[in-house]
Amino acid sequence: MPIRICSFLVALALAAAPGLGLADGALIAPWTPASKPQLPDSPIPAASQAAPEPQVPAASGTDGAELLEQWPASAINDVQANDLWDRIRAGFRMNEIDSPLVQHHEAWYLNRPDYLERLVERSRRYLYFVVDELEKRGMPTEIALLPMIESAYNPSAYSRMRAAGIWQFIPSTGKRYGLQQNWWYDGRRDVRAATQAALDYLQNLYNQFGDWELALAAYNWGEGGVQRAVERNRAKGKPTDYFSLKMPRETRNYLPKLQAVKNIISDPALFGIQLERIPNRPYFTVVSAPAHIDVKKAAELADVSVEEFRSLNPAHTRPVITPVANRELLLPVDKAELFTTNLESTDEPLVSWQIYQLKTGEKLESVAHKFGISLQRLKEVNGLNGRRRGVRPGQMLLVPMEDEEAQSNLDETYDSADFQAPADDYRSRTIHRVKRGDTLASVARRYRTSPASIKAWNGLKSDQLRVGQRLTIWQEGATLRTGHSSRGKHKRARAKSARSG
């Protein structure tokens, strides 16, 4: 049964909660010493030391074993209900947050029942897998709710900061955690690969900070930002927990937003809603893809819609799947055997695309006409948009086959520069240190951006700058005009895509 909002008065009351200002630290109820979890020592490097480079844990999951030792053996697997929500609730381990910010975000979701319904419906494809992986590592199941605020569980989510997938990896962090990115395939959108990478990253952050709240803050803000905030507080003799740190507004709201979703999932009846049941069993399974196959053909062989196929395999960014990409496909559990049977018995061509080399003076419009495809579709298939350079003579394009019986020449493209990962046109991060005479307007002009954008990126409440202040500036392209370029972090400036859910 779809979500139903039964008490609009509840939402109005929550929305009207007093004191919803967003000043750093003003509205978060601090932990009492008794409520703070006893975690093993995980020393944070001293101010004189650089933050350690995260190391991807071994496949054996040693970090997960250590975490399991900290918590009592849970009854997650003993839950006799068939509803995955019960299994998720049984694995909640993080501290509760009591703050007007939580009430504010609860009201936001409750006042958008259509959005909440889409969110739950979309998540049902992936939640079982994510929960299963969390349990294997001994991690709190609240983390299974994190993609709800990152991307609304939309695996095709793509933010203005070029973050992609349900975990919203930016390119540099994705590469750092082994997520392949090329013209054919983007591992940040691969649900299985990106989930493993995100959990590796979160475990590394936990090992660095010894605290899940700080680990999540670092996932949102970047480990460097959290590290510096911790060191500042330590130098002043102040506490270094999440609630004591000064941080950007978005990070300050990050955990309250997660707590709001957790509260709704924990007791939906309290909020006057009914969650649609999600079966406590796998939604998808893995099958092997042939050397070349059209996305449309693969969906047909599995007897699923193209939309459903793309929802499970969004990492394949072109209309044809090739060995350059991951050879594994995800299909609904009840369709895997049918796909294999149909694949073995079909005598029809599996691909309908080939490579075409652009001739001197040839326009895209004439190519589209030659192959009976619209110009818009030709551009879409070949990733020709405003962020990429124009076409040139000799460039290779992916086009429909003129003759369905023709042999595909896709193998010829593997070593071609045209079909390797495109030049990194993602936004680059610059750190600008404010000098005497700098104003918000002058800094914005220097980096060809707007004062409003700089304020949003840095959580500034006014136009006033101070000498020595560090400002994060995001720019298009890998080449920076000026300033110091720092390695991209997995930051929440990228997460506007969640609102598009």
Active site members: 150
**Per this entry, what is the length of the chain?**
501
Instruction: Count other C-beta atoms under 10 Å from residue 418's C-beta.
Output: 18
Distance CA 258, CA 292 (A): 41
501: three-class secondary structure by DSSP: coil
Query: Quick check: 315 and 185 in contact, CB under 8 A?
Result: yes
Distance CA 230, CA 241 (A): 8
Query: Quick check: 462 and 121 in contact, CB under 8 A?
Result: no
What is the 3 state secondary structure string of 32-98? CHHHCCCCCCCCCCCCCCCCCCCCCCCCCCHHHHHHHHHCCCCCHHHCCCCEHHHHHHHCCCCCCCC
473: three-class secondary structure by DSSP: strand
CB-hemisphere CA count at 13 Å for 326?
A: 24
CA angle 98, 123, 255 (to 5 degrees): 20
252-280 in b/e burial notation, b at 16+ Cβ within 10 A? Answer: bbbbbbbbbbbbbbeeeeebebebeebeb
> What torsion, rounded to 10 degrees, do the Cα atoms 302, 303, 309, 313 define?
-10
DSSP 311-365: HH-TTB-SSEE-TTS-SEEEEEGGGHHHHHHHHHH--S-S--EEEEEPPTT--HH
The position carrying tokens 């294997």 is 136
At 297, which helix (H) or strand (E)?
helix 295-302
The position carrying tokens 């590592």 is 137
